Amino acid sequence: MIRAEQLTKCFGSFAAISDVTFHVERGEIVGFLGPNGAGKSTTMRILGGVFPPTSGRALVGGYDVVAEPLRARSIVGYFPERVSLYLDMTVREYLRYVAEMKGVERSQRRTDIERALESCGVAHMAHRIIGTLSKGYRQRVGIAQALIGQPRVLILDEPTAGLDPEQVAEMRRLIRDLRGERTVILSTHILSEVEATCDRVMIINRGRLLAVDTPHNLSQRLRQTSQIYLEVLGPTQAVVDRVRAVPGVLHVEPTSSAPDGLAALTVTTEKERDLRAELAAQFIPAGSRVLDLSGGRMALQPLLPNGCSYQACDRIKRDGAVVSDIANGEFPNHAAAQSDIIVMLGVLEQIADVETFFTYLRFCKQDVILSYCATDLTGTGDRAALGFVNHLSFYDLALLFDRYGFRIECTAPIDGMQVLMRLTPTERLKPVTPCSVAVVSCDDGDNFGDRLGYHMINALLPGEAEVHHLTFRTLSQARATYDLVVLGVGNSMFQPLLGDEVLDIVGRGKASIGIFGTQYRELIPRPALDRLLDRLDTWFARTEDDVLMYGRGRKNVVHLGDWLIDQFPMNKPTVDEPLQVNDEIRGDHALDRAIQTIQSHRQVYSARLHPLLCALTSAELVAYAEQSSEPMPGIVSGKFRSMLIDIFGRSYPEKQFFMVDRDAVRRYKARVHRNVAKVGEAIDAILRNVAVAAG
């Protein structure tokens, strides 16, 4: 179905690919594997008819891509590395446009589009604007456009680039489902990608094809192996069966050169592995300066992550190693001071004076990764026969580490006798006191403002806090007690939310704060709100109106401002078309995309408070529509007016566009940002005081 014959493509004097020859059979899925810049995309662009080769020939479905380009393209669906999608179209509109551009007959277009939508799992997104889709769904739309026209050949250039692991798995399933229906050639630089989806693999590097094989055969060829020759007394077949059952044996080949009664075998095995070094490498951050006191084979060095530097230490001078006889009391002080991590694999058991050795380590003040065979695991075995000169249990180790200022940060078993440990100087580990925090919000996350409020409060709470998110509909799930109760996440409090249940939850906290504003103030029973404010340690009020109406004379009321403006950077609009926000931004819309969409428009009309607040950081002209109370339509929320007075010092008539004073917005945003930092400081102080009182 696809045939490439000595393809070469030059850009000036640079040869992107040279003499590339391969073929792909009908119904196959073939992976093109290689690092970035290897020539994968160049080859696929030639096959897709994007540009011709400098020399050689490419055939797709029997059509020469240079001599018969239109016929070749008519049977190809091409997914480029950077697929061009029209972000302002819906998915269906875009696929209809692609069908028209590909010349699909009008009577066939609807069927083609529906089939592509179903095949790629985007039928339920058909009416969504492409610009609002996630990266994974955009990739699916890209595959769908390649399927329009029922092409017999699909060329997919890096179809999983930039996707998260879940999206990668979904894309792999989609590609596997195409097996047999179409001939697929895809490019990637990830070996697991082709193993999961492809029938055959082609490896390319520096423009040259290096290997073509099945994923299984290729992995066997690439695997590091060693061979040994054995002569064993016994029947050949019985010996072969026993040897094949040994872990690590990959292949057993009998030979005929052995004397009678002996079985002669060539045995292919995995190369010897150092499990300690493999595991230790998982404990080491990229970019670390590693001092390896293990000596011997320096097995750790090739396993280190990217950017690490390596310094070996041995008792004899070789291969650039620092000379130091660790077992006899020496220590490489200078090399240790220049390192970030000290590694000791199979060393500690051979040190007689562990107290002096840990004195050296203590003054280095570096993390230590070490392995040890504790007496708890070796039992009554002869440790001296293993070369061990000390005999410590896990309890002894813990006491040793504690005496010299180390704490075990993490551990992992190596085998039945050894454990790997990472030690950290205790001066780096500040004591952490766990705390419980209840956060009570109005909604369960579908509200644009509440969703942003979750981000704000979660960022301010300490990392050790266990956070229990509640809404006014789930108060019955509250726990018996909390260290801190946070009422509100910057949203509005109004009459239905001022019942006894809220007072009960606030009373369950050893401390409590409120972060909210008010609306429909004519309907708020003043005694109920006063009872609530009496219970709060601090009310961080959203607007000055809130402070003047309900906080006058109170020492526990602070004017915060609308802290959600911290989520909206100052920006400049690019779209002239007015934007109208009438309904709440739904929970399935990504917050970052929603913010970007609002901030892209020069004119914004909003019937929702926080989309309007977002628009003020970017738009030139804005207008708003107040929200009326459902039980009493003549009463409006008042929250728009309060916000505008806070920001601009005045309000504006509703449903009339007014010009945004960007300097006033900047001043307000800077003031609120400083206030938000004070909220974080107040929360930290409250939780410290609660911890002291509990202690």
CA gap 54, 19 in Å, rounded: 11
Residues 203 and 281 in one domain: no
Angle between helices 354-364 and 394-403 (to 10 degrees): 50
Percentage of residues of the chain with pLDDT beyond 90: 43
pLDDT for 195 beyond 80: no
| Eight-state DSSP code of residue 600 | T
Total residue length of the chain: 695
Burial of 165 (0-12, 13-18, 19+ CB in 10 A): exposed
Residues 35 and 114 in one domain: yes
Q: Which of 549, 564, 579 is the last residue of a domain?
A: 564
Residues 493 and 570 in one domain: no
Is 629 a domain residue? yes
pLDDT for 394 beyond 80: yes
| Higher pLDDT among residues 28 and 540, named by residue | 540
Is 683 a domain residue? no
Number of other residues whose CB lies within 10 A of the CB of residue 227: 11
Residues 239 and 376 in one domain: no
Q: 552-565, pLDDT tens digit by residue?
A: 999 999 999 999 99
- How are beta strands 484-493 and 512-518 bridged, if at all? parallel
Is 668 a domain residue? no
Residues 541 and 572 in one domain: no
422 forms bridges with which residues in the sheet? 369, 410
Q: How many helices (H) and strands (E) does the chain have?
A: 22, 30
Is 675 a domain residue? no
Residues 282 and 381 in one domain: yes
pLDDT for 652 beyond 70: yes
pLDDT for 600 beyond 70: yes
246 forms bridges with which residues in the sheet? none
Which of the four pLDDT bands, split at 50, 70 and 90, describes residue 587? low
616 to 452, 658, 676: CA distances (angstroms): 16, 11, 19
Is 631 a domain residue? yes
CA gap 607, 625 in Å, rounded: 5
| Eight-state DSSP code of residue 462 | -
Which of the four pLDDT bands, split at 50, 70 and 90, describes residue 228? low
| Higher pLDDT among residues 571 and 320, named by residue | 571
In the chain, how many domains are there? 5
Is 673 a domain residue? no
| Higher pLDDT among residues 315 and 477, named by residue | 477
319 to 278, 322, 325, 344: CA distances (angstroms): 21, 9, 16, 18
31, 199 Cβ separation under 8 angstroms: no
CATH classification of the domain holding 483? 3.40.50
| Higher pLDDT among residues 164 and 424, named by residue | 424
Residues 483 and 560 in one domain: yes
Which of the four pLDDT bands, split at 50, 70 and 90, describes residue 190? confident
| Higher pLDDT among residues 558 and 271, named by residue | 558
267, 251 Cβ separation under 8 angstroms: yes
pTM for this entry: 0.51
Residues 11 and 141 in one domain: yes
211, 187 Cβ separation under 8 angstroms: no
pLDDT for 134 beyond 90: no
CATH classification of the domain holding 266? 3.30.70.60
Percentage of residues of the chain with pLDDT beyond 70: 89
Give the structural domain span for 414: 275-428
What mean pLDDT do residues 313-326 have?
Answer: 79
CA gap 631, 561 in Å, rounded: 28
546 to 536, 557, 647, 669: CA distances (angstroms): 15, 9, 14, 19
Is 526 a domain residue? yes
What mean pLDDT do residues 287-304 have?
Answer: 84
Burial of 408 (0-12, 13-18, 19+ CB in 10 A): middle
Residues 380 and 480 in one domain: no
